[in-house]
Structure 1
Amino acid sequence: MLRRKPTRLELKLDDIEEFESIRKDLETRKKQKEDVDVVGGSDGEGAIGLNSDPKNREQMINDRIGYKPQAKPNNRSSQFGSFEF
């Protein structure tokens, strides 16, 4: 493996300004999203997956990823075949 000298990174004023503008933009988006969640939660509406029951949320996730679970049989003959006890 070849070794090389460390590269010097310089922080410029433009970089700092860009970082601050992006950070402020993200903060405003986060506040807007929280406001929508609070308003939607008081009206009985909101994000679909957040306030619904776990079964519905699980079904939404399964639909989104394309997973179709098979129903599990509950009787002994299906678990152990044709064996008799």
Structure 2
Amino acid sequence: MLRRKPTRLELKLDDIEEFESIRKDLETRKKQKEDVDIVGGSDGEGAIGLSGDPKSREQMINDRIGYKPQPKPNNRSSQFGNFEF
């Protein structure tokens, strides 16, 4: 592996200004999204996140990640396969 001398990076005024403008733009978008979430909270999704019910919170997380749990059958044949005693 070839080693080379470290390169020097210089921060320019243009870079700082560009960073500040992008950060302000992201902050305004975030505020607008929060305002929409607060106003649109009556559709139920925002209220579910604030409720203390763990089932609804778990369901909301499962919906968000796309997980669809299958119910577990409670009969003996499902526990032991197709064995007959």
The normalised TM-score by structure 1 is: 0.64
Gaps of 5+ in 1: none
The percent identity for this pair of structures is 93
Residues 37, 52 of structure 1: CA spacing in aligned structure 2 closer, same or farther, 3 A cutoff?
A: farther
Instruction: Say if 1:43 and 1:64 are closer, same or farther in 2 by CA, change over 3 A.
Output: closer
Per-residue CA deviation, residues 3-24 of structure 1 (Å, 9 max, x unaligned), is: 1101010111110110000000
CA–CA distance in structure 2, aligned partners of residues 20 and 54 of structure 1:
40
- Note if contact 2:37-2:46 (Cα within 8 Å) is conserved in structure 1: yes
Q: Is the CA contact (8 Å cut-off) linking 2:77 and 2:83 kept in structure 1? A: yes
> Cα–Cα, structure 1 residues 53 and 36, in superposed 2: closer, same or farther, change >3 Å?
farther
Shift of 1:81: 2.9
Aligned length: 85
Q: Secondary structure at the match of 1:46?
A: helix
Q: Distance in 1 between matches of 2:43 and 2:76?
A: 48
Q: Deviations over 1:17-63 (max 9, x none)?
A: 10000000000011111111111125757599888987778778777
TM-score, length-scaled by structure 2: 0.64
Provide the C-alpha distance between the structure 2 equivalents of 1:2 and 1:31, rounded to a whole number of angstroms.
48
1-structure distance, mates of 2:44, 2:4: 61
Root-mean-square deviation over aligned CA pairs: 4.0
